[in-house]
Amino acid sequence: MQQPVRPPRQLACARCGTAFECALDGGCWCAAEPYQLPMSDTAATEDCLCPACLRKAAEDSPACVIYEEPVIPETRDTAMIDLYALTSPNVQKIFIMLEECGLPYNTKLVDVWKADQFTPEFTKINPLQKVPAIVDHDGPGGQPYTLIESGAILMYLAEKTGKFIPHDPVKRYDTLQWLVVQVANVGPMSGQVVHFSKFAGPGQDYAISRYRTALNKLYDIYEERLSTRPYVVGDDYTIADIAAFPWLRNVELLAVDLAQRPHVKAWIDKLNARDAVKRAYAKIGAIKSVRDNATEDDKDRYFGRGKYARV
Ligand SMILES: N[C@@H](CCC(=O)N[C@@H](CS)C(=O)NCC(=O)O)C(=O)O
């Protein structure tokens, strides 16, 4: 798909005051180069440097690895991304990110309750046989590129677009840490709570108590962070928020009490109010799965139990 380039913006250089034109249609080109000069994000045009000052700053900056004059295309090919999806929180993260970034995408449903994930075609895309996965038909070098794991997909899309990941090295690693906190802790602990309280049958008190305790501890950690900053990492909305939100908002299913966690509640309300988040959930809400009518065999196959267990 061809998208027209926006007319150049007239900016004043924050260093020398010279007027210059920024011809990019989204994001500032220095900010779009995260490994080069740490720059402000697109909204803060008063921090922008003209190309000459940027080049000089890049030469002087220890944080700058390489500097190349960017090629600003006349038009941009925006190839589709295929999102292999159903409705679970790990998939919701990617719907939200794609909507937030304004990237065009096709949704390809993989109904994990009726074994779509085990087909040879999907196994080629994700050998782990799980959603989400994406295929970016305009990947690195303009070639198609396949990604699995929601955390890796969020990082990839953030780097591809230069959005929702800070360029400042400290804030950038703060973001990546809290992204990993989500994928390594919040997701797995929440998943175990849901599994043992909803799907594993009676007699699971030990497991339920163990995973609820771990999950409540995580909620308290987010509560503490959000009591001193508006978003998980700091002042900016990042992929660390996008990763955590679909799980932490799930308070009814997880039977978590937000009365004692007002800052998590306020953060959930704030993210729920974002247009991109509303668009994502409208799309997710329209997806039909066999989950609600899954047979015992469907559930055994999905959970790898009964005749599907490998012991
Ligand atoms: N760590 C993965 C987890 C993905 C995952 O567990 N996906 C589930 C749905 S939430 C799935 O596809 N399960 C199918 C199966 O295990 O057969 C991620 O964050 O992307």
Give the per-residue SS3 of 114-161. HCHHHCHHHHHHCCCCCCCEEEECCCHHHCCEEEECHHHHHHHHHHHH
Dihedral (CA of 142, 150, 96, 173) sign: negative
Query: Of the segments 52-66, 76-90, 201-215, 289-303, which one has the largest average pLDDT value?
Result: 201-215
How far is the centre of ligand 1, averaged over its atoms, from the C-alpha of 130 (Å)? 4
Whether 48 lines ligand 1, by a CB cut-off of 6 Å, is no
Give 5-32 pLDDT, tens digit per residue. Answer: 445 667 788 788 888 776 554 445 454 4
**Which residue ranges form the domains of the chain, and what is each CATH number?**
9-66 (no CATH), 166-273 (1.20.1050.10)
Return the pLDDT at 76: 40
- Pocket perturbation via mutation, ligand 1, pick of 95, 109, 110, 130 by most ligand atoms within 8 A of CB: 130
Distance CA 228, CA 263 (A): 9
Distance CA 196, CA 209 (A): 10
Task: Give the number of other CB atoms < 10 A from CB of residue 231.
Answer: 19
- Pocket perturbation via mutation, ligand 1, pick of 87, 88, 90 by most ligand atoms within 8 A of CB: 90
Distance CA 304, CA 172 (A): 38
Distance CA 218, CA 214 (A): 6
Whether 130 lines ligand 1, by a CB cut-off of 6 Å, is yes
Band of residue 44 on the pLDDT scale cut at 50, 70, 90: low
Please state the separation of Cα 8 from the chain's center in Å. Answer: 30
Return the pLDDT at 47: 67
Return the pLDDT at 43: 45
Give 168-187 pLDDT, tens digit per residue. Answer: 999 999 999 999 999 999 99
SS3 content of the chain, % helix, strand, coil (to 5): 50, 10, 40
Which amino acid makes up residue 150? Answer: S
Whether 129 lines ligand 1, by a CB cut-off of 6 Å, is yes
Return the pLDDT at 262: 98
Angle at 162 between CA 48 and CA 224, to 5 degrees: 100
What does the mean pLDDT of the chain come to?
86
Q: Is 12 helix (H, G, I), strand (E, B) or coil?
A: strand
Task: Pull the structure tokens for residue 255.
Answer: 């039977």
Distances (CA, A) of 47 to 29, 53, 61, 66: 13, 12, 16, 20
Task: Pull the structure tokens for residue 213.
Answer: 């305790």
How far is the centre of ligand 1, averaged over its atoms, from the C-alpha of 53 (Å)? 47
How far is the centre of ligand 1, averaged over its atoms, from the C-alpha of 132 (Å)? 7
Whether 117 lines ligand 1, by a CB cut-off of 6 Å, is yes
Hey, whose CA ends up nearest to atom 2 of ligand 1?
149
Q: What average pLDDT score do residues 83-98 get?
A: 97
Distance CA 85, CA 94 (A): 9
Which ligand 1 atom lies nearest to the CA of residue 187? 19
- Does residue 135 register a pLDDT over 60? yes
Task: Give the number of other CB atoms < 10 A from CB of residue 105.
Answer: 19
Q: What average pLDDT score do residues 244-258 get?
A: 96
- Does residue 291 register a pLDDT over 90? no
Band of residue 196 on the pLDDT scale cut at 50, 70, 90: very high
- Does residue 91 register a pLDDT over 50? yes
Distance CA 221, CA 174 (A): 15
Whether 150 lines ligand 1, by a CB cut-off of 6 Å, is yes
Whether 88 lines ligand 1, by a CB cut-off of 6 Å, is yes
Helix 262-272 with 275-285: angle, nearest 10 deg: 80
Q: Is 20 helix (H, G, I), strand (E, B) or coil?
A: strand
Hey, whose CA ends up nearest to atom 13 of ligand 1?
130
Which ligand 1 atom lies nearest to the CA of residue 150? 20
Which ligand 1 atom lies nearest to the CA of residue 88? 10
- Does residue 109 register a pLDDT over 70? yes
- Does residue 150 register a pLDDT over 90? yes
- Does residue 119 register a pLDDT over 80? yes
Whether 182 lines ligand 1, by a CB cut-off of 6 Å, is no
How far is the centre of ligand 1, averaged over its atoms, from the C-alpha of 131 (Å)? 5
Return the pLDDT at 72: 42
Give 264-274 pLDDT, tens digit per residue. Answer: 999 999 999 99
Whether 192 lines ligand 1, by a CB cut-off of 6 Å, is no
Ranges 61-65, 141-145, 168-172, 198-202: which has the least confidence:
61-65
Give 47-81 pLDDT, tens digit per residue. Answer: 677 777 777 776 776 655 444 444 444 444 455 89
Higher pLDDT, 294 or 228: 228
Return the pLDDT at 184: 98
Return the pLDDT at 213: 97
